[in-house]
Amino acid sequence: MSTVTIVQLTDTHIRPPGELVHGMVDTYANLTHVLQQIRASQQPIDAIVLSGDLTDTGTPEAYRRLRDAVEPVAAELGAQTVYAMGNHDDRAAFGTELLDSDCAAVDPDVTFDQVFDVAGLRVIALDSTTPRRHDGKLEAQQLDWLEEELRTPARHGTLLVLHHPPIPSPNATTELLRLEQPELLAEVIAGTDVRLIICGHNHLTAAAALGGIPVWIGPPLSYRIDTIAPVGRHRGLVGFGYSRIDLLGTTMVATAIEATPAETVYDRAEQDVLDQLAALAAEAR
């Protein structure tokens, strides 16, 4: 049984009604499909974390569309909602429409760095974006702020959220998109209670570590890139998913969930499967 369960949605790339991403992907349909799947599961969810590129072009209408879809489901589940900035997001519209804050309209260089208590797990969302750039960066004042936040351990440790992965990529294009100077972040979180870093941005699913701390790049909710495309080619593919992040005792487990509609291979009562496995284990003794 999980102590804390979080759903991570990343790279939703919502557009206004009638607009498709790359002329063919209905990202809003993907989002509502996943939200319905989460509701139907009746699983206990403590928070829904959206880790950047929430809209495709940063329009206020797209943020309102996203919020109107996500927040009623979160309220029904009793889950907190955490929004993090991505490079496709517009700070002013993000702040106004999702955080009810107009500070970015006054100061375009403000960063939306936030901290939440989710059932004893501290969730820190960092704004790793630089306007008009696709790679990521954390400014010195952000790292100072993070260091101060982490001075006091949280009851169940800390989950760090940022859009840009602080790890290398074997893919030439996504290698150009990662966080600049990840070693600076590694220095700040070394020896703290950070258990896991979750990211998005790359439109692929991957895992690595930063200074010994696990890093998870969640599957995108919009479309995915072909990570083994022919040499010299870069292509996007139909397909989408999301992640569940569980705190099991003192261990955080990230699980990719395939959401692209597919046929069912089997659908059995969970208890029947547990009984079968127990019987097999007993036979082996």
- β-pair type (251-258, 158-161): unpaired
Greater pLDDT, 217 or 174: 217
241/112 Cα distance (integer angstroms): 26
Superfamily of domain covering 4-284: Metallo-dependent phosphatases (3.60.21.10)
- Inter-helix orientation angle 91-98/60-77, to 10°: 40
Q: What is the pLDDT of residue 133?
A: 87
Under the banding of pLDDT at 50, 70 and 90, the label for residue 105 is: low
Task: Encode pLDDT of 114-167 as tens digits.
Answer: 999 999 999 999 999 988 888 999 999 999 999 999 999 999 999 999 999 999
Identify the pLDDT of residue 104: 64
Q: Has residue 106 got a pLDDT over 60?
A: no
| Alpha carbon distance, N-terminus to C-terminus of the chain | 26
What is the C-alpha separation between 81 and 65, in angstroms, rounded?
A: 15
pLDDT digits (tens, 9 = 90+) for 35-91: 999 999 999 999 999 999 999 999 999 999 999 999 999 999 999 999 999 999 999
**Taking the domains of the chain in order of start, what are their residue ranges?**
4-284
Percent of the chain clearing pLDDT 90 (strictly above):
84
